[in-house]
A and B are shown apart, each in its own frame.
Chain A
Amino acid sequence: MALLEVRDLKVYYRTIWGLFRAVDGVSLNVGHKEVLGVAGESGCGKSTLVEGVLRLIKPPGFIAGGEVLFKGMDLLKLGDDELRKLRWKELSYIPQGSMNSLNPVLRVEEQVIDAIVEHGEYDEEEARALAREYLKRVGLPADVLRMFPHELSGGMKQRVIIAMAMILKPSLVVADEPVTALDVVSQRLVLQLLRELRDEYGASLIYVSHDLATHAELVDRMAVMYAGKVVEVGNVEEVFLEPLHPYVQLLIDSVPKPGKKVVKGIPGVAPSPLNWPPGCRFHPRCPKAMPICSQVEPELTDVGGGRAVACHLYGGAQ
């Protein structure tokens, strides 16, 4: 059984312009000790998806349907207290821009210790020892505990956050764009660390990023989202080397890499969640669009070998 199973999750926002269907029916699995990448461009719903999975959606957003099964429990049906017990201990979340969420007037120590003590399992002394130990594991010396956030570089702050996320040994860590604002060298150090989370601590990881190259570096399987839906899922090597969905093909082709001298983008504009195009949501920009594409929405269909794609080219309509 998968560690996490998301079934037909829908997260909508009520706005004065109408219903904003940010995540519109997403199904995904995350296995034990697996790194799942969620890729896609801005506005495709990747951050909303993980916030929905962790039940962090705030009004005017709401969960319009679906199930999130974590170790067999439906997170969407748990009471607030039960959910609170799971946070940090079972489910850790590294939100986007979280390195800037450290309180600037408190020393790192107080913030890390607070997070541990809050959980009620350790007293302050134990928490201090744990904090020291984990900072060392992420490659930071204990001195960092006595420092203020502004004394650390972006990469060092991000490592403090990762250390906090690891301390209570969660089985699932969700990291939303954890390396986006970092320089290449810090980026590499943080990606190495995320991989160790799985390799050494046996945690599963959901890695959300718009940067395809970092997915190629880190994840085992990846799901690519477009317009609130997953359009393709598969083993990372297969998705990169032989993408099936025309959007994924074009997206991978638009990333410059050494030795590739012609790179094309995808003309057109991503559609609005207020008004998704009928049929396949990619059809207005798709070079392979057929008449059926503007009428019938393709389902995410299993094409064997753990891969699924939502495209009429692969018989999605039946």
Chain B
Amino acid sequence: MSALLELRSVTKLYRVGRSLSLKPRYITAVKNVSFSIPGEKPAIVALVGESGSGKSTIARLVLGLVKPTSGEVLYRGKSVGTWLREDPTTFRREVQAVFQDPYSTYNPFYRVDRVLYLAVKKFKLASSREEAERLIREAMRALGLRPEDVLGRYPHQLSGGERQRLMLVRALLLKPRLLVADEPVSMIDASLRAIFLNGLLQLKEEQGLSSLYITHDLHTAYYVADKVVVLNAGRVVEEGPADAVFEQPLHPYTQLLLKSVPLPDPRERWREKLSFELEQLEKTRPEKGCPFQYRCSFAIERCKMEDPQLVNVGEERRVACFLYEK
């Protein structure tokens, strides 16, 4: 059985600078990225990294909003480009998205119900208005939203948390197989964040929905994900089961990230001071070699010359670092 989603050596370059110049310049948003979400049973895969690591570009590639410069993005064994040419309706129904900003997703002039009814209509999920309403109410209750609190309201009357959950309701209605969630909780309050994340877990358990959960927040990634893929400067530097990666991070970049996350416990403050030279902070994209070489305390001469490749280290774990090469 083919994987639900598979990225094979995907590279995406964006052209920057003046369009008339003779020599166009490119930045590499994503470089040679491969990972997959298995098809056998539903899973949540978290894609974590700092800003500029290429996380959102990957979301856009998976949704078919941009095309890879090289490599392939396969959904159920077929490339996203082919899906969109041959059967866009099925692809658009099976692969749903939730984005970061719960404000800009809604048209402020319409009641929020509209995004739900439109989805029902577009994908012909119900034969009558009554049936549509019944489906919508069921889906809302399944995610702990009270239809009477939400239906008939305008977007500005709902909290960010409710608006994001309504996007999950929409996803639930369409019975998708894959949800691409790009920083879905970074703009909502802590008290509502947990409710959204629990909704994601619930959809996985009850509806068999797999998710690609994209975030810079390692705590929430650890909370929901089965598998974690760590990105640095557009490249996968580490991959593995969530528990293993968080308990024993291998790549020095993952170690730095985990060490820098403040814990919600005043007894566990940082003891040592972290400091970098300016050069280390500024140069994040070396011309060649390991993308993390400037900030890495283990960097050797080889790291400046060669790209470390992802190598298997133990069960389901891969890391791109010379420290682990035999």
| Chain A residues at the B interface, C-beta cutoff of 8 Å | 41-42, 139-141, 143-144, 153-156, 183-185, 187-189, 191-192, 210-214, 216-217, 236-237, 240-241, 250-252, 254-258, 260-261, 263-267, 269-270
Give B257's nearest chain A residue, CB to CB. Answer: A184
Q: Measured between alpha carbons, how far is A189 from B193 in the docked complex, in Å?
A: 26
Do A265 and B198 have beta carbons less than 8 Å apart?
Answer: yes
* Interface pairs (20), CB distance under 8 Å: A41-B190, A42-B189, A144-B278, A184-B257, A185-B257, A211-B190, A213-B261, A213-B262, A214-B262, A217-B263, A240-B264, A240-B266, A254-B193, A256-B194, A256-B223, A257-B263, A258-B222, A260-B223, A263-B198, A264-B194
Do A269 and B162 have beta carbons less than 8 Å apart?
Answer: yes
Partner of A212, one of B51, B246, B264, B276: B264
Q: Measured between alpha carbons, how far is A265 from B195 in the docked complex, in Å?
A: 5
Which residues of B in the span 204-250 have a Cβ within 8 Å of any Cβ on A? 216, 218-220, 222-223, 246
Q: Is B142's CB within 8 Å of the partner chain A?
A: no
Interface-located stretch among B60-68, B124-132, B174-182, B267-275: B267-275
Which residues of the partner chain A approach B189 to less than 8 Å between Cβ atoms? 41-42, 210, 270
Closest 5 CB pairs of A and B: A265-B195, A265-B194, A266-B191, A183-B50, A256-B223
Do B50 and A255 have beta carbons less than 8 Å apart?
Answer: no
Do B197 and A263 have beta carbons less than 8 Å apart?
Answer: yes
Q: Is B260's CB within 8 Å of the partner chain A?
A: yes
* Inter-chain pairs besides A210-B190, A263-B223, A270-B189, 16 sampled, C-beta below 8 Å: A154-B51, A184-B216, A185-B260, A185-B295, A212-B190, A212-B264, A216-B265, A236-B266, A237-B267, A251-B190, A255-B190, A256-B194, A256-B219, A256-B223, A257-B264, A258-B246
Q: Measured between alpha carbons, how far is A187 from B260 in the docked complex, in Å?
A: 8
Which residues of the partner chain A approach B192 to less than 8 Å between Cβ atoms? 265-266
Which residues of the partner chain A approach B220 to less than 8 Å between Cβ atoms? 256
Which residues of the partner chain B approach A260 to less than 8 Å between Cβ atoms? 223
Q: A123 to nearest B CB, angstroms?
A: 28
Do A153 and B281 have beta carbons less than 8 Å apart?
Answer: yes
Do A267 and B195 have beta carbons less than 8 Å apart?
Answer: yes
Which residues of the partner chain B approach A189 to less than 8 Å between Cβ atoms? 274-276
The proximity string for B residues 86-122 relative to A, scoring 1 for CB distances below 8 Å and 0 otherwise, is 0000000000000000000000000000000000000
Interface size class of B (residues with CB under 8 A): 35 or more
Q: B145 to nearest A CB, angstroms?
A: 10
Partner of B273, one of A192, A241, A256: A192
Partner of B50, one of A156, A185, A264: A185
Q: Measured between alpha carbons, how far is A29 from B183 in the docked complex, in Å?
A: 37
With A41-B190, A155-B281, A217-B270 as contacts: A188 and B264 at CB distance below 8 Å: no
Do A257 and B256 have beta carbons less than 8 Å apart?
Answer: no
Give A220's nearest chain B residue, CB to CB. Answer: B266
Do B191 and A41 have beta carbons less than 8 Å apart?
Answer: yes
With A210-B189, A267-B144 as contacts: A252 and B264 at CB distance below 8 Å: yes
Give A187's nearest chain B residue, CB to CB. Answer: B260
Q: Measured between alpha carbons, how far is A184 from B218 in the docked complex, in Å?
A: 9
Which residues of the partner chain B approach A41 to less than 8 Å between Cβ atoms? 189-191
Which residues of the partner chain A approach B198 to less than 8 Å between Cβ atoms? 263-265
Which residues of the partner chain A approach B261 to less than 8 Å between Cβ atoms? 184, 213
Q: Is B159's CB within 8 Å of the partner chain A?
A: yes
With A185-B50, A188-B274 as contacts: A237 and B264 at CB distance below 8 Å: no
Do A217 and B269 have beta carbons less than 8 Å apart?
Answer: yes
Q: Is B148's CB within 8 Å of the partner chain A?
A: no
Which residues of the partner chain B approach A141 to less than 8 Å between Cβ atoms? 278
Q: Measured between alpha carbons, how far is A318 from B278 in the docked complex, in Å?
A: 58
Q: Measured between alpha carbons, how far is A139 from B162 in the docked complex, in Å?
A: 42
Do B216 and A263 have beta carbons less than 8 Å apart?
Answer: no
Which residues of the partner chain A approach B282 to less than 8 Å between Cβ atoms? 153, 156
